[in-house]
């Protein structure tokens, strides 16, 4: 793992980890959401903002976001 961080928003917990896939091939950002008691509409807004921020940060570093996978 190259780095990790976490934050709370509207009673929900968010954490993300940056890791390398293969040797010099690609990078991956894993985002985990811990659901709180707040309504899911607030969660969708907070998560959307977090994912947008990560995509923009990745692009600013010259990397190209390729795929987003969502697991329930």
The domain ranges of the chain are 3-60
Which neighbouring-strand residues pair with 13? 8, 34
- Please write the tens of the pLDDT for every residue from 49-72: 888 988 898 889 888 777 767 766
- Please write the tens of the pLDDT for every residue from 13-35: 999 898 888 887 888 888 888 88
pLDDT at 71 (0 to 100): 67
Q: What is the pTM of this model?
A: 0.69
pLDDT at 15 (0 to 100): 93
Q: What Å distances lie between residue 14 and 43, 50, 68, CA to CA? A: 10, 9, 16
């Amino acid at each position: 793992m190259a780095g990790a961080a976490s934050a709370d928003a509207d009673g929900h917990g968010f954490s993300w980890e940056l890791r390398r896939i293969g040797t010099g091939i690609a990078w991956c950002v894993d985002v985990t959401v811990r659901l709180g008691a707040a309504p899911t509409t607030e969660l969708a807004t907070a998560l959307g903002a977090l994912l947008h921020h990560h995509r923009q940060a990745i692009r600013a570093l010259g990397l190209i976001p390729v795929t987003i996978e969502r697991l329930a």
